[in-house]
Chains A and B, each alone.
Chain A
Amino acid sequence: NAGVTQTPKFQVLKTGQSMTLQCAQDMNHEYMSWYRQDPGMGLRLIHYSVGAGITDQGEVPNGYNVSRSTTEDFPLRLLSAAPSQTSVYFCASQGGYTGELFFGEGSRLTVL
């Protein structure tokens, strides 16, 4: 089973560039979310979606956009990358409320 698939795994950007982190899940989960992880700060919620066509902001949404056109896909867009967005990004999904988030393997982004 593929589970949650994120691409790319690594990316280096220059300040001001834009890019999209892709996330796809094959578990038919309604809930999907994006987190960023910085040293000593745990995981912070960027955006989340409770189903196709529905998205909402998390704790740190500024500088990021999301959309949810299908149940499977939840891309995260950086509109104009800044060095403060250097981080490891995790996409996660959850089916119903089991407490268990299924995470992708992470995408390490460096903004120069």
Chain B
Amino acid sequence: EDKVVQSPLSLVVHEGDTVTLNCSYEVTNFRSLLWYKQEKKAPTFLFMLTSSGIEKKSGRLSSILDKKELFSILNITATQTGDSAVYLCAGSKAAGNKLTFGGGTRVLVKP
């Protein structure tokens, strides 16, 4: 059975801090690791990582995948209150579109 585990479950930081979120996966016929941000409603797409060791960046967010150790990290630098959300990672398989999601990390950024 495919499994994706995120840590920590939650964290509280202050504006300006840097946050590192972890995602480990066990997905047979693995293709990609995806990160989503969920605020009050539906998750929104952040990154898709397919190759190991190549960092993807979008503003203050960055992510990297390690296919040997089967994990990914999501970094948020210079955090702002708008970064407060649940961050979800998901593993996808080589065939088809099915994603297996982790339980999410809840991030609260205090002013």
Residues of chain A having any CB pair with chain B under 8 Å = 31, 33, 35, 40-45, 48, 50, 58-59, 90, 94, 97-101, 103-106
Contact = CB atoms under 8 A, between A and B. Distances in A.
Interface residues of B, number: 24
Contacts of B4: 42
Question: Which secondary structure characterizes the binding site on chain B?
Answer: strand
A58 B88 CA distance: 19
B9 to A, nearest CB: 7
B107 to A, nearest CB: 15
A51 to B, nearest CB: 11
Contacts of B90: 43
Interface string B1-28: 0001010010000000000000000000
Nearest to B86: A42
Interface stretch (B58-66, B68-76, B77-85, B94-102): B94-102
Contacts of B104: 40, 42
A43 B101 CA distance: 6
Given A99-B45, A101-B36, A101-B99, 20 more contacts: A33-B97, A40-B103, A42-B101, A42-B102, A42-B103, A43-B88, A43-B99, A43-B101, A45-B98, A58-B98, A90-B43, A94-B97, A99-B32, A99-B92, A100-B45, A101-B43, A103-B44, A105-B41, A105-B42, A106-B41
